[in-house]
């Protein structure tokens, strides 16, 4: 399957490495596509919007005509996962006027809520359907309001991973770990074409190294 990563800026190579690990070690038959145009977007079955600088990412997806195209594919049911800045892009409108969000996930976020880069931290969280996961928070946004989404994980009482059908949003950076289970969940969402957020679906929990 073709998995796209918005490829202008941010943690692009880290997402590529995790997907290539799944392909190489666990035979997932993944082809990674760096999405920088509407044409490349049209070739993928799922899309990751990585962490990075949300205002820069927004400007570039607007400049290259991807904003409306990504929104349309998301509304049509294509699985999309946004991590950190990617969450800001897929959420409801950011109060920051420099970023118009896609409105694909019914959450409102506050940028840099956990402090600046020097205040980055690791925290073990419990993710529904996955279990314990060492999350990396770097200039992370905070989900302040949410409605009609499934909360998959919390930190300090606030959601840090949420899902609504084909859309997944995370305030942290799973790509900065060597643990590919979140990416596996995303891939399984693409393969099965249905909600995998509940515990009654026996998606494969592999013994990752």
Distances (CA, A) of 32 to 6, 69, 75, 137, 182: 11, 19, 22, 25, 16
Which is nearest to 84 in space by CA: 59, 53, 58?
53
Alpha-carbon distance of 199 to 163, in angstroms, equals 14
63 is catalytic: no
Residue tagged active-site, from 15, 97, 144, 175: 175
SS3 169: strand
Place of tokens 């060597």: 178
- Assigned fold of 2-192: Rossmann fold (3.40.50)
pLDDT computed for residue 154 by the predictor: 97
Instruction: Indicate if 14 belongs to the active site.
Output: no
pLDDT in tens, 49-85: 999 999 999 999 999 999 999 999 999 999 999 999 9
- Structural domain spans, the chain: 2-192
Instruction: Note if 15 is an active site residue.
Output: no
pLDDT in tens, the chain (209 residues): 999 999 999 999 999 999 999 999 888 889 999 999 999 999 999 999 999 999 999 999 999 999 999 999 999 999 999 999 999 999 996 556 678 899 999 999 988 766 555 457 899 999 999 999 999 998 889 999 999 999 999 999 999 999 999 999 999 999 999 999 999 999 998 988 744 343 333 333 333 32
Catalytic residue among 14, 15, 173, 184: 173
Q: What is the pTM of this model?
A: 0.89
């Amino acid at each position: 399957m073709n998995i796209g990563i918005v490829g202008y800026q941010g943690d692009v190579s880290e997402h590529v490495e995790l997907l290539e690990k799944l392909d190489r070690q666990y035979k997932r038959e993944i082809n990674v596509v760096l999405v920088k145009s509407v044409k490349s977007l049209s070739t993928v079955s799922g899309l990751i919007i990585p962490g990075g600088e949300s205002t820069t990412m927004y400007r570039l997806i607007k400049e290259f005509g991807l904003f409306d195209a990504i929104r349309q594919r998301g509304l049509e049911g294509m699985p999309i996962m946004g991590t950190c800045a990617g969450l800001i892009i897929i959420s409801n409108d950011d109060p920051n006027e420099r970023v118009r969000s896609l409105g694909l996930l019914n959450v409102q976020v506050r940028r840099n809520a956990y402090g600046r880069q020097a205040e980055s931290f690791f925290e073990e969280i419990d993710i529904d359907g996955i279990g314990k996961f060492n999350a990396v928070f770097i200039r992370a946004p905070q989900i302040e309001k949410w409605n009609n989404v499934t909360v998959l994980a919390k930190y300090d009482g606030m959601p840090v991973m949420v899902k609504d059908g084909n859309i997944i949003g995370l305030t942290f950076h799973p790509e900065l770990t060597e643990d590919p289970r979140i990416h596996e969940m995303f891939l399984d969402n693409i393969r099965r074409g249905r909600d995998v957020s509940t515990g009654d679906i026996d998606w494969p929990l592999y013994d990752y190294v």
